[in-house]
Copies of this chain bind each other. A is one copy, B any other.
């Protein structure tokens, strides 16, 4: 495998991550506030205790973004894998799996006791990928899948904004 190893990003990587996340949303026709706004936010967020990122390559060719919150049922924290993106020309080479491996190793030393992901029901490739890596949508208490519900309290970002 000729891909460089994943590493934990620093606030110095904020601009590169902002560009990748903007490209991600552009590829999937999802609104984005633009690479510059994302990069500025990430300088602040990656400097705090509640978000970290995993980056691959220089220039960056893949990123994972993880937000961290406490949970009363665990002694440690819970991480939510908000985004995982590999640029199109580098897919299907094990980069996603290498990122998840570092995510699990880093979580073990960072007092993160569980990792969560919200995945579209019809995204069978993603579901299979995460299931292969030990993730499940089945609540052990009930034997049922759990659905992710949300309600926005502010307007979403404007559609089609470019960087």
- Residues of chain A touching chain B, judged by Cβ–Cβ distance below 8 Å, are 21, 28-30, 33, 38, 41-42, 45, 48, 50-51, 65, 67-76, 78, 80, 82-83, 104, 107-108, 112-123, 127, 130, 133-137, 139-142, 144-154, 156-157
Contact = CB atoms under 8 A, between A and B. Distances in A.
A121 B148 contact: no
Number of copies: 2
Contacts of A115: 150-151, 153
Nearest to A41: B72
Residue from A73, A118, A157 whose CB has the most chain B CB atoms within 10 Å:
A73
Given A69-B80, A72-B45, A144-B120, A130 B149 contact: yes
A106 to B, nearest CB: 10
A38 B70 contact: no
A117 B30 CA distance: 22
10 contacts: A50-B69, A51-B69, A51-B72, A67-B78, A117-B148, A119-B146, A130-B149, A134-B151, A137-B149, A147-B147
